[in-house]
């Protein structure tokens, strides 16, 4: 016999499986385009959440992939929340060496690129108890098999080489749902490959409201079902021609000096053809450098390649170095100022944590009321 609770768990299983289908992707793209238009006319109706794990220092891949878009959304008037996911560092690591330094490095980068703490709430997992407490009722809304089908969980399981997976890693999708739903974010910037993660959050929100509703009224939902804000992310490779990764040491960090940046670009892999062209499929390493010049100057990559012509990899690298250093110069200047005032950084994080904590407490109170767990 299937109980009502079982039915709620079963009904949404197909949604998770469907989240990667062509039809689902088309719907997500259409909805994302609609949201972009709505932001242009009424940004105040949206609350956006995004964030990073403090496992290393931010680099150009992060900047062009998501950071500059966060600033753009903030500047367009979208209420913005940025999470420094320090608890998620321990999902797959035995140690958290230098985590404090990395948390403040992320914060410094956020402020240096233009995130404004007066308009953007920047906070850390570990300082928001009510957010993490939401995981308990949320865990009752998902099954073990659903969690194991999550792409990140599956990838982690495959990468462990037989090492047992931590319970925190297994429940990562639920923690992510708590991150998004504690502040009732209704839009989340993601790439296409992250749609299953967001669908799990939508499932948790839907199941909670189907089971409990607001003060017993299931027609009055407690949580929104957040939408994906999809954008084209440039496919930047690392300086060695492989996928950009902090662990590989093939990145250009935002905090690097101009000289350090020049040295990293000088070592970048190219090919033996002296004539420079923009051909991502045929010449990925050369084209990656051309793309980097394009992103930092705003010029067409084909025009850049044509301009360099027979200048070879040396000419290309000189142009890229100049373009990247010029683009990052104002960020680096601001970063240098911020690093001189650690008390200000602590104050910014404390204020963001206090703001997020108050919102989380209010949401948890609503959850308790909906679950009829208010006893005083």
Residue with tokens 């079963």: 10
Is residue 6 very low, low, confident or very high in pLDDT (cuts 50, 70, 90)?
very low
Backbone angles phi and psi of 250, in degrees to 5: -110, 25
- Tell which residue, 290, 265, 295, has the closest CA to residue 279: 290
Q: For CATH 1.10.240.10, list the domain ranges present in the chain.
A: 246-339
| pLDDT at site 3 | 42
| pLDDT single digits (tens) 37-62 | 999 999 999 999 999 999 888 999 99
Is residue 2 very low, low, confident or very high in pLDDT (cuts 50, 70, 90)?
very low
Is the CB of residue 276 less than 8 Å from the CB of residue 309?
yes
Is the CB of residue 345 less than 8 Å from the CB of residue 107?
yes
Average pLDDT over residues 354-368: 97
Lowest-confidence segment of 3-12, 88-97, 164-173, 297-306 by average pLDDT: 3-12
pLDDT over 60 (residue 216): no
Q: Write the DSSP string, 269-289.
A: ---S--S----TTT-HHHHHH
- CATH level 2 (architecture), domain 246-339: Orthogonal Bundle (1.10)
pLDDT over 90 (residue 71): yes
Average pLDDT over residues 207-229: 84
| pLDDT at site 220 | 76
| pLDDT at site 214 | 72
Structure tokens at 195: 């749609």
Is the CB of residue 109 less than 8 Å from the CB of residue 255?
yes
| pLDDT at site 193 | 83
Average pLDDT over residues 240-260: 89
Average pLDDT over residues 169-187: 95
Alpha-helix residue ranges (DSSP H) falling in 42-163? 60-62, 68-75, 99-113, 129-133, 135-139, 144-149, 151-159
Which comes out higher in pLDDT, residue 334 or 17? 334
| pLDDT at site 7 | 46
| pLDDT at site 22 | 79
pLDDT over 80 (residue 121): yes
Is the CB of residue 261 less than 8 Å from the CB of residue 324?
yes
| pLDDT at site 14 | 53
Q: For CATH 3.40.50.620, list the domain ranges present in the chain.
A: 4-233+342-370
| pLDDT at site 5 | 45
Is the CB of residue 289 less than 8 Å from the CB of residue 279?
no
Longest dimension (CA), the chain: 78
Is the CB of residue 207 less than 8 Å from the CB of residue 12?
yes
Q: Write the DSSP string, 83-99.
A: EE-SGGGGGS-S--TTH
| pLDDT at site 127 | 97
| pLDDT at site 4 | 43
| pLDDT at site 17 | 53
CATH 3.40.50.620 fits 4-233+342-370, yes or no: yes
| pLDDT at site 37 | 95
Global pTM value: 0.90
Rounded Cα distance between 70 and 316, Å, is: 30
Is residue 154 very low, low, confident or very high in pLDDT (cuts 50, 70, 90)?
confident
Which comes out higher in pLDDT, residue 188 or 23? 188
pLDDT over 60 (residue 69): yes
Is residue 23 very low, low, confident or very high in pLDDT (cuts 50, 70, 90)?
confident
pLDDT over 50 (residue 236): yes
Is the CB of residue 222 less than 8 Å from the CB of residue 367?
yes
Mean pLDDT (the chain, rounded) = 90
- The SS3 call for residue 258 is helix
Is the CB of residue 252 less than 8 Å from the CB of residue 60?
yes
pLDDT over 60 (residue 16): no
pLDDT over 90 (residue 151): no
| pLDDT at site 102 | 93
Is the CB of residue 204 less than 8 Å from the CB of residue 183?
no
Residue with tokens 């490095």: 105
Backbone angles phi and psi of 47, in degrees to 5: -125, 120
Count of CB atoms situated within 10 Å of the CB of 361:
15
Average pLDDT over residues 109-129: 97
What percent of the chain shows pLDDT beyond 90? 73
Burial of 167 (0-12, 13-18, 19+ CB in 10 A): exposed
Question: Strand pairing partners for 121?
Answer: 81
């Amino acid at each position: 016999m299937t109980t009502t609770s079982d039915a709620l768990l079963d009904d949404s299983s197909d949604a998770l499986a469907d989240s990667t289908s062509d039809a689902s992707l088309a719907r997500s793209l259409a909805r994302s385009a609609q949201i972009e238009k709505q932001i242009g006319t009424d940004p105040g109706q949206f609350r956006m959440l995004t964030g990073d794990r403090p496992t290393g220092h931010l680099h150009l891949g992060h900047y062009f992939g998501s950071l500059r878009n966060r600033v753009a959304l903030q500047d367009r008037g979208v209420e913005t929340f940025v999470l420094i996911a320090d608890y998620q560092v321990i999902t797959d690591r035995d140690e958290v060496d230098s985590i404090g330094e990395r948390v403040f490095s992320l914060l410094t980068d956020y402020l240096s690129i233009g995130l404004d703490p007066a308009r953007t709430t920047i906070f850390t997992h570990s300082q928001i108890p009510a957010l993490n407490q939401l995981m308990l009722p949320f865990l009752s809304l998902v099954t073990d098999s659903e969690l194991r089908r999550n792409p990140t969980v599956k990838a982690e399981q495959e990468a462990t080489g037989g090492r047992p997976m931590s319970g925190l890693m297994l429940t990562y999708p639920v923690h992510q749902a708590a991150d998004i739903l504690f502040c009732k974010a209704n839009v989340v910037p993601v790439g296409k490959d992250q749609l299953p993660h967001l669908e799990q959050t939508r499932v948790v929100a839907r199941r909670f409201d189907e089971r409990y509703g607001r003060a017993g009224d299931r027609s009055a939902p407690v949580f929104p079902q957040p939408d994906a804000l999809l954008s084209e992310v440039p496919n930047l490779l690392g300086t060695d021609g492989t996928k950009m990764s902090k662990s590989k040491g093939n990145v250009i960090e935002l905090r690097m000096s101009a000289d350090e940046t020049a040295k990293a670009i000088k070592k970048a892999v190219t090919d033996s053809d002296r004539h420079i062209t923009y051909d991502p499929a045929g010449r990925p390493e050369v084209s990656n450098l051309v793309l980097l010049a394009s992103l930092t100057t705003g010029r067409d990559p084909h025009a850049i390649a044509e301009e360099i012509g027979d200048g070879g990899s040396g000419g290309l690298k000189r142009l890229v170095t100049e373009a990247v250093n010029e683009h990052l110069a104002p960020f680096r200047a601001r970063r240098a100022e911020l690093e001189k005032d650690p008390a200000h950084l602590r104050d910014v994080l404390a204020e963001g944590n206090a703001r997020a904590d108050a919102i989380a407490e209010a949401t948890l109170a609503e959850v308790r009321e909906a679950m009829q767990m208010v006893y005083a």
